[in-house]
Amino acid sequence: MALQVSGAGFSPLSCWRRRAATTRAVSSGSVTTKREEGEKVKLGGSDLKVTKLGIGAWSWGDTTYWNDFQWDVRKVKAAKAAFNASIDGGITFFDTAEVYGAGILGAVNSETLLGRFIKERQEKEPVEVAVATKFAALPWRLGRGSVLSALKDSLARLGLSSVELYQLHWPGIWGNEGRYIDGLGDAVEQGLVKAVGVSNYSEKRLRDAYNQLKKRGIPLASNQVNYSLIYRTPEENGVKATCDELGVTLIAYSPIAQGALTGKYTPENPPTGPRGRIYTPEFLQKLQPLITRIKEIGQNYGKTPTQVVLNWLIAQDNIVPIPGAKNAEQATEFLGALGWRLTEQEIEEMRLIASKIKPVIGFPVEKL
């Protein structure tokens, strides 16, 4: 059921292809309308529709990866502003997880923050918000009942009676994976979620999960994986092709490579914290030819590098990117990735340049 105290997807975007020849002239210097930004698409074979672009809430409440061991009132206000700017622009799909900001070094749970932002916004006006959260496949969680138990805890933190999308955050171990998939099916049948998905799933695991749910008449809506212009492993390991074959939507996390593709960072100005150990000055030096070309393409459309690399994903169909927004300025910039489309030639040109750069892994779970 769509969250409302009103409610909250992916259809092919082939109609955009017919407009590709005129996109450059139309989009350059233009302002994307809220209606265009809020256009929704279906998630896989489910009935759930979400906006073409979502917002990731991994950084909200975090104190270990994103926020340099500090989460304070100022950052809460900035995250809330990001939420409101997204809603104002027509983006209503938000992705969180029970482990984001979960009780480490003064962190605040991301689900709790998102639930608070939704409630405070709804007190002013009815809005539609589609919430996606995730089950952590921790080793001590045994059986299908653990999925429902964790989901109910997530709902309590969010202050909701149901969510639109519930996902397994990573594959289970010790033979529990199939039980977890059963738990997802139970959640659908009990009306606690509208659709279910997985995350960080390989081709084989994706097929197994799809077939297991199919036997119960439940579609697998999505597979959330690390996917960006410089991390194209889903193209290389069969995951993207399998998603397309099965009609499962690929939700792309870290779609701007945790900021590396925005042009903000240079060899002289690398990111701080854990990201600085991933996106090193040496790597950023190799990245510069790609960044330069992204900027050139963006200038032709009147778009920023961030908007170009997000559109690179959106324009390929069956992909919903979920960049993380720490503040209103970032959320507003993300909106500019919608309402226009790169040409096929530009998509392939950027892929070719990026293929000369060895990809980096932004988070250990991606190896699963």
Active site residues: 100
Beta strands, E only, the chain:
40-42, 49-51, 55-56, 93-95, 130-135, 163-168, 193-199, 220-226, 249-253, 319-321
CA 195 – CA 265 distance, rounded (Å): 37
| Residue 129 DSSP code | B
CB 200 within 8 A of CB 224: yes
Q: Which residue, 197, 241, 239, is CA-closest to 218?
A: 197
CB 192 within 8 A of CB 218: no
What residue type is 95 in one-letter code?
D
Contacts of 156 (CB under 8 A, 6+ apart): none
CA 66 – CA 24 distance, rounded (Å): 35
Residue 56 β-bridge partners: 95, 324
Q: Using only C-alpha atoms, what is the Rg of the chain?
A: 19
